[in-house]
Amino acid sequence: MLIIELVLIVIFSFGLTYLLVPINILFSKRFNLMDVPNERAIHNEQVPLAGGLSFAIPVIILQIFYSLRYNEFGLEKEVGTQILKLAIGGLAILVLGLFDDKRKFTANYKFLFQILIAIGMYFSGFKMTLLTNPFGPQISLGIFSFPFTIIWFLVVINAFNLIDGIDGLAAGVTIIVTSVLLAVGLVYSNTIVILLSLPLLCSNLAFLRYNFYPAKIFMGDTGALFIGLNIAAISITGISQYKGITAMTLLIPIIVLIIPISDTILAIFRRIKKRKHIFQADKEHLHHKMLDLGFSQKSIAFIGYFITFMFGLIAFGFSFASKEILTGILILLMALLLFFLIVLFKRGLK
């Protein structure tokens, strides 16, 4: 792939997103797509929602372009078709997020639609047929491919939905995750990972200009669900098993998103214990706890960036260095992170 093509993708995705955000703000105000302060809100004024439209539109346009001009990017027709299916899936979850931002679906309906979209992605070829094993051969899932794939999509989608509670956090984490995926794609000359990661990275970089604290617009479920679907799809076997880097691309979101994924899983168990719906919103997530302890949105966002970046370096390192050494570093990093959080919480209590 030529450098000029990558430069044009950067310019298009960043530039169009940057131009669309002000229009998106007016659109959200015109159609009353506003986040109104309530008992769970951490802001005092109404803020435009559905900002995800600003970066989803350029990403979908480029995905459709890739699918139509697959030959020019050195892709096979089947791969081009699969990218088109990703664009359709992205459009479907974009509509779901838009309706949720407008109408506020119940947790049951939202969860049902997510499952249906995940099933659609599975039958579109995005199948997790192998399970990553950084220390040895990959594990074939066989008949368990279907449930693992659906669970993977649901976990990653809701992990991004979770971290969208702080200004700029979801966009910043997306930038870091896609940067790691892009780096691995470049090292292994994996065209499809490069083509799918780069627009998502650049468009969120432009969006962050308006979304960082104090946010002029929120990405809403429109953006968070769209990001989660695309990250899950990029990393999954059906589209990443190309030049043999499935293990790395699947491992990256697991390591980099270990905090929000863990927070999501803990939230599910917490709500089951309290006999609430697993996707019923509450104020017991990590960022809510930190806000209660006196941390500002800006400081929480930067802490989130730092943690994601450190785990991103480890995830990237798994592609090259000794797995045993990196596992030791990963364990040490997690221990330091735990210590860091304990210190922060103790300071917050003073």
66 or 317, which is more confident: 66
pLDDT at 294: 81
pLDDT at 244: 45
φ and ψ of 2, to 5 deg: -80, 150
- Over residues 60-111, the pLDDT tens digits come to 999 999 999 999 888 889 989 999 999 999 999 999 999 999 888 887 888 8
pLDDT at 314: 78
Cα distances from 293 to residues 81, 99, 169, 297, 342, in angstroms, run 49, 34, 18, 12, 12
pLDDT at 119: 97
pLDDT at 142: 85
Nearest Cα neighbor of 191 from 74, 334, 24, 318 is 74
Identify the band that residue 290 occupies on the pLDDT scale cut at 50, 70 and 90. Answer: confident
| d(C-alpha 93, C-alpha 302), whole Å | 28
Average pLDDT over residues 280-296: 76
| d(C-alpha 204, C-alpha 168), whole Å | 10
pLDDT at 103: 85
Q: Which of 36-40, 203-207, 258-262 has the highest mean pLDDT?
A: 203-207
User: Considering the entire predicted model, what is its pTM?
Assistant: 0.89
- Over residues 177-222, the pLDDT tens digits come to 999 889 888 888 888 889 999 999 999 999 999 999 999 999 999 9
Q: What percent of the chain has pLDDT over 70?
A: 82
pLDDT at 349: 47
Please compute, for residue 182, the number of CA atoms within 13 A of its CA located in the half-sphere on the CB side.
Answer: 16
Specify the residue for token string 């969120």.
204
φ and ψ of 345, to 5 deg: -65, -35
What is the DSSP secondary-structure string of 196-260?
HHHHHHHHHHHHHHHHSSSPSS--HHHHHHHHHHHHHHHHSHHHHTTTT-HHHHHHHHHHHTHHH
Nearest Cα neighbor of 348 from 286, 275, 291 is 291
Nearest Cα neighbor of 225 from 302, 304, 122, 155 is 155
Among 44-58, 131-145, 221-235, where is mean pLDDT lowest?
131-145
Query: Which tokens is 100 given?
Result: 């949720």
User: Domain residues for 210?
Assistant: 3-349
Secondary-structure percent of the chain, ordered helix, strand, coil, rounded to 5: 75, 0, 25
φ and ψ of 241, to 5 deg: -80, 75
pLDDT at 321: 58
State how beta strands 130-131 and 47-48 pair: unpaired
- Say whether 140 sits in a helix, a strand or coil: strand
* pLDDT at residue 42 greater than cutoff 90: no
Query: Which tokens is 55 given?
Result: 């970066």
Average of per-residue pLDDT values in the chain? 84
For the chain, count helices (H), then strands (E). Answer: 14, 4
| d(C-alpha 71, C-alpha 73), whole Å | 5
| d(C-alpha 253, C-alpha 331), whole Å | 17
Number of domains the chain contains: 1
Query: Which tokens is 339 given?
Result: 């210590």
Contact between 243 and 233 under an 8 Å Cβ cutoff? The reply is: no
Specify the residue for token string 């292994």.
188
With both helix axes pointing from N to C terminus, report the angle between 246-256 and 297-317 in degrees, rounded to the nearest 10: 150
pLDDT at 245: 47
Identify the band that residue 134 occupies on the pLDDT scale cut at 50, 70 and 90. Answer: low
